[in-house]
A and B are shown apart, each in its own frame.
Chain A
Amino acid sequence: MIQAQSLTKRYGSKTAVDAVDFTVQPGRVTGFLGPNGAGKSTTMRMIVGLDRPSHGAVTVNGKQYREHKAPLREVGVLLDAKAIHTGRSAYNHLLAMAATHSIPASRVKEVIELTGLESVARKRVGGFSLGMGQRLGIAAALLGDPATLILDEPVNGLDPEGVQWVRHLVRNLAAEGRTVLLSSHLMSEMAVTADHLIVLGRGKVIADAPVAELIGAANQNTVRVRTPYAAELSALFQRADVTVTGTDIDQLVISGVTAAEIGNQAARAGIALHELTPISASLEEAYMALTQNDVEYRTGGTPGDPGAEHPAALPATDLEGSVR
């Protein structure tokens, strides 16, 4: 279990992580999601004591990471892939890491086999592809058979087979009762891998909820309606909490009411409906809706709605941008 209390990191005048509170529970995969510069990596570095918090604290299983007697058995960490001396072979790198905790060489062989590195284990890391470097980083993280795994962008540079392998690996590790925290900017990956999401934006936690709930919140009551009486139908929903957008001459997208309610009201008013489809937003769309105000490096266009702050109650207006 990882617990952060008002964890803060400032670099000069810039606040990378801004008083975040969160708990990462064992037994499930927790995804750490956020745009570039949101503070994911900084937070991960603070968990394992590489960066010192400017304020607040973070503990792993009740203690600061540095207080543990066997840190590598407590937390296995994959930071940005290249935290490995390029002049050393993969085997020697793992052997040197293992030696610190008197982990036997047999365990080194085990993680090499587990990550499929047998054929390159004696080669120098400098010549490794991004994918092989990533596998080596995961091998190092698993070395101490740790209770907690922190993986920063573990699928970066992996081929599809490797991506699937990581997915199964982290799910199995979580099923064994371990705490698994992984970051990714690939929302689609998170949707199939993570059980729970912590979404960061500009150093703040902007969502902390189960994946299903987050997608659900984004899905909430966005319905596509096709009817020859679009104007009449839209007149029925002139309410403050409902947004009606005409997307075609006979098509409306209505947010803020359920499909059932629209159907009932239309029936009462005698309006024929040709289509009534709840739109299911992907996690990606939910995520875009959440973070559109918290992207640090935006690629121009579509300015965000300044009102969107809280994910649990996503205002309908926020979804307009994400529903095509």
Chain B
Amino acid sequence: MTTTAPASVRAFVPTGSGLSFTGLLRSEWIKLRSVRSTIWSYATVVLISFGMALLMSVSIDFGDSPVPADAQATLLAQAATFGVFFGQLVVAVLGVLAISGEYSTGMIRSSLTATPRRLPMLAAKAVVLFVCTFVVGVITTVGSYLVAASVLGGKGISASLTDPDLLLPLLGGALYLALVAVFALGVGAILRSSAGGIAAALGIILLLPIVLPMIPAQWATDLMPYLLSNAGLGVFGLNAFGPESFEVWQNVLIVLGWVAVSLAGAAMLLRRRDA
């Protein structure tokens, strides 16, 4: 080979700041806030929840019989987190799009050349998505509580935000939304397609609890409480609407299990596959 460098030119030496995880977090935050789908999704989550809280509190009617004090907090919590059940579908779509949008546009190649070790990029994305969705979730559930409280207060039903029977389900709703978004992020990273990722994520959240009971076998019935969305109901205090289930902390662990499997699969494939 005839490859000799011209002696006159000195090789350029790069200087300046390097790659860091805080930098990646900032980058993923810029990415998340600078696409419209994020704004629309979060706005939809909040508005659906407010609407549901209003609808539910208007329709609650106990006539003249007074509601026991300890049931009032639970009732308010249910009205406030009812919208979470619908909101999870929206944040699931958002979670898938957070990564599938990069694959469909080719952006992933820019992201991965900036972060050639790859996994820190996925981790930063998951952290930013979790934190943002949790914050939006808190706004959603606490706001929905305020909506419900304004209606139910007139019907003699009230509870203080500091009441753990109320506060824990509200925070649980926000936590569940954030975890579903991260779960969907993993699904999107595994499937690398918006359509496929959304179908799979919504299928797991929405269809599995419908399809599983159709299987006439005991194991199918036994599995019901372990489904993502069924465990989720237990996290934000709507277990009355799902199959007989576990303690709240056990439900949180089940949801975390789903998230862990999804992220682990995504991480393994992200490392291995060509981009």
CB of A25 closer than 8 Å to a CB of B: yes
CB of A26 closer than 8 Å to a CB of B: yes
Listed stretches A82-90, A161-169, A300-308; interface member: A82-90
* Whole-angstrom CA separation of A77 from B275 in the bound complex: 15
* Whole-angstrom CA separation of A83 from B9 in the bound complex: 32
Question: Which chain B positions have C-beta within 8 A of A71?
Answer: 19, 113-116
* Whole-angstrom CA separation of A114 from B116 in the bound complex: 26
Question: Which chain B positions have C-beta within 8 A of A84?
Answer: 105-107, 110
With A71-B116, A77-B113, A87-B37 already in contact, the answer to whether A100 and B14 are too (CB < 8 A) is: no
In the complex the two chains form, is A177's CB within 8 Å of B11's CB? Answer: yes
In the complex the two chains form, is A100's CB within 8 Å of B115's CB? Answer: yes
Count: A-B pairs, CB below 8 Å: 166
CB of B30 closer than 8 Å to a CB of A: yes
Interface centre among B12, B19, B27 (most CB of A within 10 A): B12
In the complex the two chains form, is B30's CB within 8 Å of A25's CB? Answer: no
In the complex the two chains form, is A25's CB within 8 Å of B5's CB? Answer: yes
Count of B interface residues, CB-CB < 8 Å: 47
Chain A, Cβ-Cβ closest to B38: A87
Question: Which chain B positions have C-beta within 8 A of A92?
Answer: 30-31, 34
* Whole-angstrom CA separation of A254 from B35 in the bound complex: 64
B27 is contacted by which of A51, A100, A174, A196 (Cβ under 8 Å)?
A100
Say what secondary structure dominates the interface of chain B. loop
- The digit string for A90-106, where 1 denotes a CB below 8 A from any CB of B, is 00110111111111000
CB of A69 closer than 8 Å to a CB of B: yes
With A72-B114, A99-B30 already in contact, the answer to whether A85 and B20 are too (CB < 8 A) is: no
In A65-79, the 8 Å CB interface with B consists of 65-66, 68-75, 77, 79
CB of A145 closer than 8 Å to a CB of B: yes
Question: Which chain B positions have C-beta within 8 A of A88?
Answer: 31, 34-35
Interface pairs (5), CB distance under 8 Å = A92-B31, A96-B31, A100-B26, A146-B14, A147-B12
List 14 extra interface pairs beyond A72-B114, A145-B15, A208-B1, CB under 8 A. Answer: A27-B6, A45-B275, A50-B112, A71-B113, A73-B15, A74-B14, A92-B30, A98-B27, A99-B26, A144-B14, A147-B12, A175-B9, A176-B12, A209-B2
Name A residues whose Cβ lies closer than 8 Å to a Cβ of B.
1, 21-23, 25-28, 45, 48-52, 65-66, 68-75, 77, 79-80, 82-89, 92-93, 95-103, 140, 144-147, 174-179, 196, 208-210, 213
